[in-house]
Chains A and B, each alone.
Chain A
Amino acid sequence: MNVISDSATMLRRNFRHTMRNPLTLFNGIVMPVFLMFLMVYVFGGAFSVGVDYADYATPGLILTTICYGIAPTAIAVNSDMTNGFINRLRVMDVSRAAVLNAHVIATMLRSLLAIALVVGVAFLMGFRPSAGLPEWLGVVGVVVLAVLAISWLTVAFGLAAKAPESAGMAAVPLMLLPFLSSAFVPADKMGPGVRQFAEYQPFTPIIETVRGLLAGTPSASSAVMAVAWCAGLALIGYLWARKSFTKQG
Chain B
Amino acid sequence: MVGAMNGSAIAASGLRKAYKDKVVLDGIDLDVRAGTIFALLGPNGAGKTTTVNVLTTLLAPDTGKVVVAGHDVVAETKKVRAAIGVTGQFASVDDLLTGEENLLLMADLLHLPKAEGERIARRLLERFELSEAAGKPAASYSGGMRRKLDLAMTLVGEPRIIFLDEPTTGLDPRSRRTMWEIIRGLVAGGTTIFLTTQYLEEADQLADRIAVLDQGRIVAEGTADQLKRQIPGSHVRLRFADRHALDVAAQVLPTSTRDEEELTLRVPGDGGVRSLRALLDRLDQHSIDVEELSVHTPDLDDVFLALTGHANKTKEVNAR
Contact = CB atoms under 8 A, between A and B. Distances in A.
A13 B105 contact: yes
Interface string B137-152: 1000000000000000
Interface of A is mostly: helix
Interface residues of A, number: 22
A88 interface: yes
B58 A87 contact: yes
A93 B84 contact: no
B90 to A, nearest CB: 5
A3 B306 CA distance: 52
Interface in A5-35: 5-6, 9-10, 13, 16-17, 20-21
A127 B78 CA distance: 55
Nearest to B101: A16
Contact of B88 (A5, A16, A88, A92): A88
A133 interface: no
Contacts of B57: 90-91
B182 to A, nearest CB: 18
Given A5-B111, A93-B81, A16 B96 contact: yes
Contacts of B108: 9
Contacts of A10: 109
A228 interface: no
Contact of B92 (A5, A9, A21, A88): A88
Given A13-B97, A84-B90, A91 B56 contact: yes
Nearest to B106: A92
Contact of B58 (A13, A16, A91, A94): A91
Contact of A2 (B82, B90, B111): B111
B172 to A, nearest CB: 21
Question: Most chain-B Cβ atoms within 10 A of its Cβ — which of A21, A89, A91?
Answer: A91
Given A9-B105, A16-B101, A248-B58, A88 B96 contact: no
A83 interface: yes
A91 B110 CA distance: 11
B59 interface: yes
B94 interface: yes
Contact of A84 (B84, B88, B105): B88
A13 B111 contact: no
A30 B55 CA distance: 48
B78 A87 contact: no
Interface string A72-101: 000000000001110111111110000000
A248 B86 contact: no
Interface string A94-129: 100000000000000000000000000000000000
A91 B81 CA distance: 6
Contacts of A89: 109
Given A9-B105, A91-B86, A92-B157, 15 more contacts: A5-B111, A6-B109, A9-B109, A20-B137, A84-B90, A87-B53, A88-B92, A90-B58, A91-B85, A92-B81, A92-B106, A92-B109, A93-B78, A93-B81, A93-B82
26 contacts: A5-B111, A6-B109, A9-B105, A9-B108, A9-B109, A10-B109, A16-B96, A16-B97, A16-B101, A83-B91, A83-B92, A84-B89, A84-B90, A87-B53, A87-B58, A87-B86, A87-B92, A88-B153, A90-B57, A91-B58, A91-B84, A91-B85, A91-B86, A92-B157, A248-B58, A248-B59
Q: Which 10 A-B pairs have the closest CB atoms?
A: A84-B92, A84-B88, A9-B108, A85-B92, A93-B81, A91-B86, A20-B96, A248-B59, A17-B96, A88-B92
